Structure 1
């Protein structure tokens, strides 16, 4: 066999392998989109308790923007997701609640970016804590002054604070700096879960089991088009 035939066969194998890889990626993307398209449009809500307490049927809701990352509720760790900037809702038991969070925002760099250097500026606050009494079936929001530029974001970080705002617009509580040493968790008595639902790493997704696929389905519902595109780019890298 001549070297020409060998080179020709090698090019064919490489080309065939690349076509197969592209086809596999396309099939995976299509399958993922079909699965996600079958999800309902319900908003993702994370339960913040263990077990099945009777007061959960009258749970309040805390709505958080994508720049707020909740790490604990009443001493219980919350789930971390693959994508930042996801606006999530947290179901809270009526009564006293303690929420620990950070503010994190990302700004694109305008100058030349060297190889290996991050293309964005990440601005993040120190951990904050807010405590308030949640009324049954009420909805609350975490609000703060939104910066219009990276410079404004950097200037607001040292004194950053967010407010818990009720449905009528009244401010119920203001956050302050948090340290594990100066904050005791709110006592919540675990109740046996008769439904058999499994907690999801410190946050059970309402109405779903604890599988990774169910987590992905629920998170996808709240993602913007740009976030979905960014995730798909990451999946195929």
Structure 2
């Protein structure tokens, strides 16, 4: 056997080892990943409900808090929700393989993603909620589906508790704590400074992605 054949066998074995290792790591992640907590601070987690999102649903915000800090965006995730009204912002995203010849540097898939949707759920303690919609069968259906997308959210009894609609880019369901702080400073100049910072934070949380990019370009010019 020549050294060339030895190197080829070694290389194939290395690829196989890497693939198997990656599979074990991903399997471990999926089996040990806990639910995503959607709030900050302490709360009675025993009363939390669960919102199950399939891999096609990308939950972006819950009550104004970003939920997009994941390395892979093709995961089915479970989100813990506290009882009461919860405002959820999400999109629906599908990937379809391209047919025919793909040029160098060109993507091999079509990505179809809806505009952001919003839904407000009156969450009950310990309940399990799911997204309910009729998935498209092909890319053409997906593109038509994306133009007029809406999803129901159902409870464990399959009762519809909320129906999504197009997100206006502003409402977040976040309690107006920051705006309350703005008016609490009285005539004290130090409190006024804190109020301004709180108001800026509140406005940033309500800004759209395009408004944020425009502001950053202006700030760093």
Give the TM-score taking structure 1 as reference length.
Answer: 0.63
Shift of 1:147: 0.8
SS of alignment partner, residue 73 of structure 2? coil
Instruction: Give the equivalent residue in structure 1 for 2:41.
Output: 51
Q: CA 1:35/1:162 → structure 2, altered by over 3 Å: closer, same or farther? A: closer
Instruction: Give the equivalent residue in structure 2 for 1:118.
Output: 107
CA contact (8 A) 1:107 1:122 kept: yes
SS of alignment partner, residue 117 of structure 1? coil
Q: Which has the higher contact order (CA 8 A, sep 6+)?
A: 1
Aligned residues: 176
SS of alignment partner, residue 121 of structure 1? strand
Paired with 1:136 and 1:23, the residues of 2 have a C-alpha distance of: 51
Paired with 1:86 and 1:41, the residues of 2 have a C-alpha distance of: 12
Shift of 1:44: 3.6
Instruction: Give the equivalent residue in structure 1 for 2:154.
Output: 165
Q: Provide structure 1 residue ranges, at least 5 long, that are not aligned to the other structure.
A: 1-11, 190-237
Shift of 1:169: 1.0
Q: Is 1:187 the counterpart of 2:180 in the alignment?
A: no
Shift of 1:184: 3.7
Pick aligned residue for 1:149 from 126, 134, 138: 138
Pick aligned residue for 2:123 from 123, 126, 134: 134
Paired with 1:15 and 1:43, the residues of 2 have a C-alpha distance of: 42
Paired with 2:118 and 2:8, the residues of 1 have a C-alpha distance of: 51
Runs of 4+ in 1 over 4 A off after TM superposition: 14-40
Shift of 1:42: 5.3
Instruction: Give the equivalent residue in structure 2 for 1:226.
Output: none
